[in-house]
Amino acid sequence: MLRHHAGQKQGTPEWFKMPAMRKIAITTPNVLAKLRLIDRESAKPYNFVLSPVHIFEGPTLIAPFCEDRSRWIGLENGLEYISVENGKRFRICKPDEEELLIWTPEFVWARQSNTRLQYLFSTQLRDLDQVFREYFQHPEFKSLAPDGAPCASNTRGLLRRRPIEATLRFRLIGKEIDRHVQDDVNVLSDIRPPEYQEGGSSSGVLDPISIRKLQSQPIRRLMRITRSGQHTIERALRGERIQMRTLSKLMVFAKTLKDGFPR
C-alpha cells in the first residue's frame, strides 16, 4: 500500500495466492458438543482449528490447526476439512489439479473416491490477495470525505467527523447470553444475543416466594441449572428483571424446593 501511495512499482508476493484462513479457538461447550458429534476424539477444549473463507455462501469448514501452509490445499497431502453443519468431509483442490469428474458452482466430486470426499476449487475461497485488496479499497464509513461527502474507496485527504442522527426506532439488544459464549460461536454457531421488543414479555422478575427459596441454594448450583452467569443470578435474587428463558428455569427449580431444600 505504501508503494502504491508513493507511485512506486508494486510486486505481488507469492503467498498472496494462498487461501485466507481463520484461526478459531474452541472455547464454548455448545460448540464443543456440536463438534464431538462429528469426531469425539479430535474435538477437545481450547484446541485451535483452521477455517477457510468462502467467496460466496458455502458450508462452514474446519480442520485441525496446521502451521504448514503447503498442506492447507491439495488432493493428496492436503488437510481434510469437516463441515460443522452435516459432518461431510472436504478437501481443497490446487489450481493445477484436474483429477475431477463432475463440478458445480458449489462443489465437485473426485473421479474415483471410496471415501465420498467432496472437493472445493481454491477459486471458490478467498485468498490473501483478495483480503488485502478489499482492505485497501474498503471505504471508511465512520468518517466523511474532506468535501463532506461519504467516503469512497478512492477518498484521500484529511477525513471529517460524521454526524450521527438517530431517527429510527431503537432496537434493544441484551448482553445476557450463555455465560460460556465466546468468539467461536460467531463462526461455528448460530447463537445471538436476545433482542427485547417494546411491550413484549422477553424479560421478567421472580416472585418473592421463589426468591426466598432460591436464596438458600448455592449460586454455583443455580448457575449450572440455568447455564447463566453469576451476575444474572444475583440480579434475579435481588428481584431485578432478567431474560425470560433464565427466569423460567429458576421458577421451575424453585417449585421443586420446600423451605429451601429439594423435595
36 located within any domain: yes
Segment 211-231 shows an average pLDDT of 90
pLDDT digits (tens, 9 = 90+) for 79-127: 888 888 777 888 888 777 755 544 544 444 444 444 567 777 777 888 8
Confidence bin at 236 (pLDDT 50/70/90):
very high
Q: Considering its fold, how many domains does the chain have in total?
A: 2
d(CA 78, CA 166): 50
In a domain, 106, yes or no: yes
Grid coordinates of 97: 489439479
Predicted confidence band of residue 250 (pLDDT cuts 50, 70, 90): very high
pLDDT of residue 234: 92
Structural domain includes residue 161: no
| pLDDT above 90 as % of the chain | 8
Q: Which residue has the higher pLDDT, 119 or 182?
A: 119
Of 124, 150, 180, which residue sits at a domain end? Answer: 124
Domain end position, chosen among 124, 146, 175: 124
pLDDT (average), residues 234-262? 83
| Nearest CA-CA partner of 233 in 223, 241, 225 | 223
The chain-wide mean pLDDT, for the chain, equals: 76
Domain that holds residue 27: 2-124
| Within-domain flag for 178 | no
Alpha helices in the chain (DSSP H): 2-6, 29-36, 128-137, 185-188, 208-214, 219-226, 230-237, 244-255
For residue 227, pLDDT beyond 70 = yes
Q: Do 230 and 219 touch, CB atoms closer than 8 A?
A: yes
* CB half-sphere exposure, 63, CA atoms < 13 A: 21
pTM over the 0.75 mark? no
211 plus 119 within the same structural domain: no
Which of 69, 93, 124 delimits the end of a domain?
A: 124
User: Length of the chain, please?
Assistant: 263
Residue 218 is which amino acid?
P
Mean pLDDT confidence for 168-187:
56
**pLDDT higher than threshold 50 for residue 180:** no
